């Protein structure tokens, strides 16, 4: 079954979150800022749709959440990558690169 | 693990705490976004609005977040289940053994729990429920235990008691019902009009009795029991309104009862007291000495059982005060309440609880066995687990995987077990019927299913978490090992040895229990009953009371019947008797006086069991005449009244003397004492139960005291062949006389042992199950460790160890656990078997031969179970083992 558009989008967002967290724990708002910043606003997602993704990843055991204090000393929920999350990221990155390379080869011909 | 489980559950059920957390998280996000916007120079209000726009709907986000959690949980559960299913399919042997073992364990528990629940736990199927009581009367000074009430006494209780309301009376009689296909003898409950109102029984068709229908002159009406309605009328509602003849009077059926326990007796139908020719007799109404009724009532709301007890005691005191000549102080009249619930289940309780304990042990055993199997399997799966954890599966996820697998196994076992229990329900009801009238209530219903579900769940969780408790091998060690079965950790080995010892111990207890019951059964079936039961046909005859009211008519009937049957081919001798040994019914206790030593007061009189028998009774059932003569046909009205007594009474009443020629006085009619000469002494028989020692018995001639009860025929060949001739003879004399309960005396004797036989059979069944499970468990564990040590054995044999030595070594190691288990089992059995002392007959709960025999058998089975894999150990070619 080919992945539907939403699956693709969802998968993409998941990878972005995992990638973002690979630099260290971060709270939800931070993740949204980071994705926006790194992708130079191209991938500006609806900020709210980040939370279902975070929840899903947490349930899958790829990320873990913990309450902590943010830089301005407010209580925030920090997310961090778990071991299986790290493995998942590696897998996703690899398959993404394979996919991108394949597309690049097709386009280069 | 638990935290994750809790998290999942929270996600599933949307707990409040998680909701608040999510809310806080989103508020934090919005606050930061607003701050950022303010930093860019927006006004506070604008910044907030912009933040909300960028966020895109707080409520929708929350819902989507919740949904995401649920979806993931469901996905992983399904994934685990699919994976679990696949792994189980890969080892069908393990799966089948585990599922089957648990199915037997859970099935046995479901079945017995359905009995315990249906009979002991659930409340009575009467609207009156647990407040219903029976009023019990005792007069210990007069030798009356749990006696019956006379009509005026019931009026006294109704008038005097403050704590018991809805006082109703009951007694049961046999009448002949005419108007159906053929004359039928029906057991009839004779009750107050409000009897069913007090019990709280609503009819399924028609109505029960109306107030006033138990008054003199009321039309005779009948209410059918559910089972009789089904049996005789196929459940046809049109039976209401039909008119039948009973006691030469028309009776109209007005209703049908729901299925209720056949208590106090399993009546076919019920009539109000006014319709019973005996109960409505004026002599009965006013006589305090003719008691045949039982009394029931309901505790008033807010009244305690103890209050009722003291209230009834004062009722008794008042009766003694008002009627001193009827209730002398020396008789010690007492009235007390008996809870109906207690009454209906008392007899069943010890046996059922024993069985419940037994199946509980069987389940433990089954679990130990499956645990052993899974531990062995886990050793083989070490590498798989290590690999999966190296690939990033968390410890929690792996545990959940194992838990899912074991739940799959336990629920499959549970499902199969419920099937087994359903298949066995009929047998169980049949079994329970011997102990309690509540047996038909036994059902595999919702509470029972919940119980099985809970048991399956508990078993699954315990078995699934067991591996989590056992230490994991270091990751690298597991992966480095080239071989699959890389060897057990010492802890696991120890755990498995403990499980084996526990299994042996439990089996020992169960086997001893079964053994003690078997010994009891053996003792009971070898009791000398004092009569010869072979080739005797028995039947119940009931004369229609109204048609054969006078003794002349009855005597005429008896004589004609004896004469007709005596000439049938194959009849060796024939007898009529009120009852015969081991037939249903209790002792016919009566008082008498020994001439020359008259008792000083009525309650000091000696008592004996009085029987009416015809002249050939003793010959027919093979009871020897020890001295004097048996009763003769010449012992009839005109002749002096004579009696034959049993040996027990002769020795007991006239110790060291000859009882022959002695005289006793008995009350033959109200107020009329008759002197009776003792003309013979016969051998003792077990009259009412095989287990009870003989009591004093007096046999009177049925020609001097006519009244039919049963007919006995000793035959030359198969007694059943005379059944037709017997029916024909009875119907030729009295076409309306029912003949039923036709059985051979052998069947009656065997039937008397049905209860202990069934109990022993069930216990034996469970014990054999236990033994089989244990034997396979031992063989499995030893076999597995032998498989693990193939190389070691190879080396030993290569170095010169003889096969016998290796076998002995394996055997020794296996039997060590067995011996430990046996020791534990003996200790446990010494304590536990005391619990079933009440079920044993002439066998001590610590009967040494039973203990010894069971120990030897268990050792033998265990040795075989060890030996089979031990032989495999030496079947190894050293070279092959070393290269492997």
Write out pLDDT tens, residues B102-125: 999 999 999 999 999 998 988 888
B122 within some domain: no
Cα–Cα distance measured from residue B552 to residue B132, given in angstroms and rounded to the nearest whole number? 45
Token pair 């709210």 is at which residue? A48
DSSP B763: H
Does the beta-carbon distance from A82 to B72 stay under 8 Å?
Answer: no
Interface contact flag, A29 B33, Cβ < 8 Å: yes
How would you write B572-602 as a 3-class SS string? EEEEEECCCCCCCCCCCEEECEECCCCCCCH
Among the listed ranges A19-33, B53-67, B215-229, B703-717, which one has the minimum average pLDDT value?
B53-67
Domain that holds residue B42: 2-83
Please indicate whether, in this complex, the C-beta atoms of B28 and A55 are within 8 angstroms of each other: no
Nearest CB partner across the interface for A47, out of B55, B60, B392: B55
Size of chain B in residues: 884
Q: Residue B204 carries which DSSP code?
A: S
| Residue B531, in any domain of the structure | no
Residue B101 lies inside a defined structural domain of this protein: no
Q: Do B61 and B145 belong together in one domain?
A: no
Examine the domain organization and report whether B663 and B795 are in the same domain.
no
Same domain, B371 and B462: yes
Q: Taking 50 as the threshold, does the pLDDT of residue B736 lie above it?
A: yes
Candidates B445, B453, B358, B337; CA nearest to B121 is B445
d(CA B850, CA B523) in angstroms, rounded, equals 13
Q: Of residues B335 and B66, which shows the higher confidence score?
A: B335
Specify the residue for token string 């499995």.
B780
Q: What is the pLDDT of residues B135-154, one digit of tens each?
A: 998 877 666 677 888 889 99
- What domain count does chain B have? 4
Is B106 within a domain?
no
Chain B interface, best mutation among A45, A51, A58, by max B CB count within 10 A:
A51
* CA separation for the pair B765, B754 (Å, rounded): 16
- pLDDT, position B484: 43
ipTM above 0.85, yes or no: no
> What DSSP string runs through B78-110?
HHHHHHHHHHHHH-HHHHHHHHHHHHHHHHHHH
Q: Same domain, yes or no, for B709 and B563?
A: yes
The tokens describing B423, both together, are 């298949």
Predicted confidence (pLDDT) per residue in B738-752, tens digit: 787 889 999 999 888
Residue of A nearest to B61 (CA): A48
Does position B52 have pLDDT exceeding 90, yes or no?
no
pLDDT at B309 over 70: yes
Q: Does residue B181 contact residue B252 with C-beta atoms inside 8 Å? A: no
Q: How confident is the model at residue B624 (pLDDT cuts 50, 70, 90)?
A: very high
pLDDT band at B1 (very low <50, low <70, confident <90, very high): very low
The CATH code of the domain at A5-108 is: 1.10.10.10
Q: Name the DSSP class of B658.
A: -
Same domain for B200 and B283?
A: yes
Domain identity same for B173 and B272? yes
What is the token pair recorded at B463? 């078995």
User: Residue B293 has what DSSP assignment?
Assistant: B
User: What CA–CA distance (Å, rounded) separates B148 from B405?
Assistant: 62
Residues 6+ apart with CB under 8 A from B770: B361, B362, B365, B506, B507, B510, B511
Is there a domain that residue B836 lies in?
A: yes
Both tokens of residue B813?
A: 């190691």
Cross-strand pairs, B673: B667
Residue B817 falls within a domain, yes or no? yes
A59, A77, A82: residue with CB nearest B11: A59
Q: Which of A29, A52, A82 has its CB closest to that of B68?
A: A52
Domain ranges within chain A, ordered by starting residue: 5-108
Residue B749 lies in a domain: no
Beta bridge partners of B811: none
Distance CA B705, CA B643 (A): 11
Residue B563 and residue B576: Cα distance in Å, rounded? Answer: 12
Range B189-194, long-range pairs (CB < 8 A, 24+ positions): B189/B265, B189/B267, B189/B269, B189/B270, B189/B271, B190/B270, B190/B271, B190/B272, B190/B273, B190/B275, B190/B276, B190/B279, B191/B270, B191/B271, B191/B272, B191/B273, B192/B168, B192/B272, B192/B273, B193/B272, B194/B166, B194/B168
CA nearest to A58 within chain B = B69
> From the CB of residue B45, how many other CB atoms can be counted at a distance below 10 Å?
9
Chain A residues whose CB is inside 8 A of the B396 CB are 61
Neighbours of B1 (CB within 10 A): 15
Q: Are residues B151 and B298 in the same domain?
A: yes
Q: Which residues of A touch B60 (CB under 8 A)?
A: 48
Interatomic CA distance for residues B16 and A105, integer angstroms: 52
Question: Are both B337 and B414 inside the same structural domain?
Answer: no
Residue showing tokens 């059918």: B224
- Say if B91 falls within a structural domain: no
Q: Which two tokens stand for residue B467?
A: 């591996």
Residues B700 and B770 in one domain: no
Helix and strand totals (H; E) in chain B: 27, 22
What is the maximum alpha-carbon separation in chain A? 55
C-alpha span between B397 and B77 (Å, rounded):
10
In terms of domains, do B158 and B283 share one? Answer: yes
Please tell me the total number of residues recorded for chain A in this structure.
109
Which residue in the set B26, B64, B394 is minimally distant from A84, CB to CB? B394
Identify which of A22, A4, A2 has the alpha carbon closest to the alpha carbon of residue A88: A22
Distances (CA, A) of B723 to B375, B541, B584, B742, B789: 64, 13, 20, 7, 71
Q: Within an 8 Å CB–CB cutoff, is residue B239 touching chain A? A: no
DSSP state for residue B569 in the 8-state scheme: T
Complete DSSP assignment for A36-97:
HHHTTTTT---GGGHHHHHHHHHHHTSEEEEEEE-TTS-EEEEEEE-HHHHHHHHHHHHHHH
Owner of token pair 């002392």: B837
Do B579 and B594 belong to one domain? yes
Q: Which of B674, B694, B512, B463 is nearest to B587 (CA)?
A: B694
Task: Tell me what pLDDT residue B820 has.
Answer: 94
What's the pLDDT tens digit per position in A6-57?
A: 444 556 788 888 888 888 888 888 888 888 777 766 655 677 778 888 888 8
Task: Say whether pTM exceeds 0.90.
Answer: no
User: What six digits make up the tokens of B569?
Assistant: 């081919």
Closest Cα in chain B, distance from residue A106 (Å): 33
**Are B150 and B284 within one domain?**
yes
């Amino acid at each position: 079954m080919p992945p539907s558009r939403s699956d693709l989008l969802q998968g993409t967002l998941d990878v972005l979150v995992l990638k973002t967290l690979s630099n260290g724990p971060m709270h939800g708002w931070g993740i949204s800022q980071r994705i926006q910043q790194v992708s130079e606003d191209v991938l500006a997602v609806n900020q709210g749709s980040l939370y279902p993704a975070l929840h899903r990843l947490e349930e899958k055991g790829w990320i873990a959440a913990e309450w902590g204090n943010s830089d301005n000393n407010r209580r925030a929920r920090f997310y961090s990558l778990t071991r299986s999350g790290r493995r998942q990221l590696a897998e996703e990155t690899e398959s993404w690169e394979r996919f991108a390379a394949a597309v690049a080869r097709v386009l280069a011909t | 693990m638990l935290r994750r489980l809790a998290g999942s559950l929270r996600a599933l059920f949307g707990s409040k705490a998680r909701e608040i957390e999510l809310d806080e998280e989103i508020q934090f996000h919005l606050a930061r976004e607003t701050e950022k916007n303010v930093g860019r120079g927006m006004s506070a209000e604008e910044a907030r609005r912009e933040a909300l726009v960028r966020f895109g709907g707080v409520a929708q986000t929350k819902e989507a977040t919740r949904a995401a959690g649920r979806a993931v949980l469901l996905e992983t559960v399904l994934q685990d289940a699919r994976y679990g299913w696949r792994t189980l399919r890969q080892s069908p042997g393990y799966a089948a053994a585990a599922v089957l073992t648990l199915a037997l364990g859970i099935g046995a528990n479901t079945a017995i729990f359905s009995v315990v629940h249906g009979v002991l736990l659930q409340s009575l199927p009467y609207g009156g429920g647990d407040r219903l009581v029976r009023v019990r009367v005792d007069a210990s000074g007069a030798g009356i235990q749990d006696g019956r009430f006379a009509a005026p006494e019931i009026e006294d209780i109704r008038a005097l008691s403050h704590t018991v309301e809805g006082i109703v009376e009951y007694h049961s009689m046999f009448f002949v019902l005419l108007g159906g296909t053929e004359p039928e003898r029906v057991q009839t409950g004779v009750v107050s009009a409000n009897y069913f109102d007090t019990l709280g029984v609503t009819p399924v068709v028609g109505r029960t009795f109306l107030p006033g229908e138990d008054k003199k002159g009321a039309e005779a009406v009948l209410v059918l029991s559910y089972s009789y309605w089904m049996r005789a009328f196929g459940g046809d509602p049109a039976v209401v309104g039909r008119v039948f003849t009973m006691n030469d009077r028309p009776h109209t059926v007005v209703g049908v009862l729901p299925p209720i326990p056949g208590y106090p007796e399993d009546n076919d139908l019920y009539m109000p007291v006014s319709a019973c020719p005996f109960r409505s007799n004026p002599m009965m109404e006013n006589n305090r000495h003719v008691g045949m009724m039982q009394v029931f009532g309901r505790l008033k709301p807010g009244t305690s059982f103890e209050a009722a007890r003291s209230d009834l005691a004062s009722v008794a005191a008042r009766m003694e005060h008002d009627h001193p000549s009827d209730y002398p102080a020396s008789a010690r009249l007492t009235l007390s309440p008996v809870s109906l619930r207690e009454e209906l289940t008392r007899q069943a309780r010890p046996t059922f609880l024993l069985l419940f304990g037994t199946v509980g042990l069987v389940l433990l055993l089954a679990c130990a066995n499956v645990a052993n199997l899974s531990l062995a399997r886990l050793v083989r799966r070490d590498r798989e687990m290590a690999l999966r954890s190296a690939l990033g599966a968390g410890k929690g996820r792996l545990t959940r995987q194992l838990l899912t697998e074991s739940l799959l196994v336990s629920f499959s076992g549970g499902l199969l077990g419920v099937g087994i229990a359903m298949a066995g329900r009929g047998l169980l009801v049949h079994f329970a019927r011997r102990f309690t009238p509540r047996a038909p209530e036994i059902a595999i219903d919702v509470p029972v299913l919940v119980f099985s579900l809970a048991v399956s769940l508990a078993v699954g969780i315990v078995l699934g978490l067991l591996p989590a408790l056992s230490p994991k091998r270091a990751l690298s060690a597991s992966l480095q090992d080239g071989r699959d079965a890389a060897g057990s950790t010492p802890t696991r080995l120890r755990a498995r040895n403990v499980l084996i010892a526990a299994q042996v111990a439990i089996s020992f207890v169960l086997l001893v229990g079964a053994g003690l019951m078997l010994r009891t059964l053996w003792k009971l079936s070898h009791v000398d009953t004092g009569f010869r039961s072979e080739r005797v046909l028995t039947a119940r005859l009931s004369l229609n009371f109204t048609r054969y009211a006078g003794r002349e008519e009855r005597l005429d009937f008896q004589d004609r019947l004896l004469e007709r049957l005596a000439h049938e081919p194959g009849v060796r001798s024939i007898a009529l008797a009120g009852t015969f040994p081991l037939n249903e019914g209790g002792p016919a206790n009566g008082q008498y006086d020994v001439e020359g030593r008259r008792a000083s007061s009525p309650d000091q009189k000696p008592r004996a069991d009085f029987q009416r028998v015809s002249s050939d009774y003793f010959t027919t059932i093979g009871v020897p005449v020890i001295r004097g003569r048996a009763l003769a046909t010449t012992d009839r009205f005109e002749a002096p009244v004579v009696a034959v007594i049993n040996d027990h009474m002769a020795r007991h009443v006239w110790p060291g003397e000859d009882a022959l020629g002695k005289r006793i006085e008995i009350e033959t009619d109200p107020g009329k004492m008759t002197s009776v000469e003792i003309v013979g002494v016969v051998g003792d028989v077990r009259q009412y139960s095989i287990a009870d020692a003989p009591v004093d018995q007096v046999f009177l001639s049925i020609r001097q005291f006519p009244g039919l009860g049963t007919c006995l025929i000793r035959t030359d060949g198969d007694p059943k062949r005379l059944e037709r001739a017997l029916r024909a003879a009875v119907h030729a004399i009295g076409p309306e006389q029912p003949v039923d309960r036709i059985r051979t005396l052998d069947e009656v004797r065997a039937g008397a042992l049905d209860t202990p036989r069934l109990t022993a059979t069930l216990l034996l069944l469970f014990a054999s199950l236990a033994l089989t499970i244990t034997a396979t468990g031992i063989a499995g564990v030893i076999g597995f460790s032998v498989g693990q040590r193939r190389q070691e054995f190879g080396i030993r044999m290569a170095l010169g160890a003889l096969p016998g030595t290796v076998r002995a070594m394996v055997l020794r190691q296996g039997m060590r656990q067995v011996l430990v288990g046996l020791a534990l089992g003996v200790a446990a059995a010494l304590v536990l078997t005391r619990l079933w002392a009440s079920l044993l007959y002439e066998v001590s709960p610590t009967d040494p031969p039973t203990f010894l025999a069971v120990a030897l058998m268990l050792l033998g089975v265990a040795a075989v179970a060890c030996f089979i894999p031990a032989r495999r150990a030496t079947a190894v070619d050293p070279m092959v083992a070393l290269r492997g």
